[in-house]
Each structure stands twice: as structure tokens, then as C-alpha cells.
Amino acid sequence: MPIDDDQEFDLDGVVVSLTDITETKQQADTLQSIFDNFPGGIVHYDETLRLASSNQQFRDLLEYSDELIADRPYLYDFFLFNARRGDYGPGDPEALALERYRKYDLKNHRCSNGVPRTAPISKPGARHCRQVV
């Protein structure tokens, strides 16, 4: 039986495709649980360096409000926020934020010292990059 009796759209039928995502959903739930319960700050930025997700520890350690996080700021915006509240000392907040932002090799997502940016932030004011010893 045709689904388009008048043949207005020249449709003769419908194709339905189903995929079982149970395993993928379970893996996502497990990762989310680890993310939420990790005993330190975790943040994830998307390919445009906009906040994709963060855990509560990240917000608590750096004293970021839920409103700030809800806006999904870009990495530079976090630097600017920190500079405006005085985290980087005296000076022009935009210049201080830009100085920190430029230390990141954004093409390779590595710090200026060559270490991948994977270290969690363990305390307020901690460096985002591990030191090479």
C-alpha cells in the first residue's frame, strides 16, 4: 500500500533503520560517572576551544559560577574572567588574558613547553601545563 496515495511526492514506501545503542549508552554513562566523581577538576573544550563540559570540582577549584559555565565560554574568556577578578595580578585584564592565551600552541593543542594539555587542575592557580623536568 503506497504511503502517498496521490503520488504528490512520488513516494512508494519508507525505509526504517534501527541500531542498538545499549552498549554505547552504557559506556557513555560510565564515562560520565568517572567524569563527575573524579577527585579533581576536569574540563573539556571542543575543537573551537569552547567549553564542552566540566565537572563540579573544576568549577569549585577555580570558583566559577554556574552562570559562567552555562554560557559555555571559550578558553580565552576564562583567561579574561580570571584576569578581571585579579588572578593574574595588576595590569590590563585583556593584555593579561591574551598573554596566557598565546602560550598555548593551538594547532597541536600543546603547551609552549611541548607537553600535551592533559594534566588536571589540582588547585586554584595551578598551571594548566605540567612542567618538563
pLDDT tens-place string over residues 19-75: 888 998 999 889 889 888 888 999 988 888 899 989 999 999 999 999 999 999 999
Alpha-carbon distance 85 to 93, whole Å? 9
> What's this model's pTM, rounded to 2 decimal places?
0.62
Domain annotation covers residue 97: yes
Q: Is residue 112 part of a domain?
A: yes
> Using CA atoms, how far apart are residues 57 and 51, in angstroms rounded to an integer?
15
Per-residue pLDDT tens for 74-118?
999 999 999 999 999 999 999 999 988 888 755 555 556 555 554
In a domain, 10, yes or no: no
User: Does residue 102 contact residue 112 with C-beta atoms inside 8 Å?
Assistant: no
Q: Which domain holds residue 120?
A: 40-133
Cell matching residue 131: 612542567
Per the structure, the count of domains in the chain is 1
Residue 31 domain flag? no
**pLDDT band of 5, cuts 50, 70, 90:** low
What does the block give as the cell for 56?
563540579
- Whether 28 is covered by a domain: the verdict is no
Report how far Cα 122 is from the mean position of its chain's Cα atoms. Answer: 17
Asked if residue 13 is part of any domain, the answer here is no
**What is the torsional sign of CA 29, 117, 51, 81?**
positive
Please indicate, yes or no, if residue 1 is contained in any of the structural domains.
Answer: no
Buried b / exposed e across 67-88, counting CB within 10 Å, b at 16+? ebbeeebbbbbbbbbbbeeebb
Written as one string, the DSSP assignment of 7-22 is -SS------------H
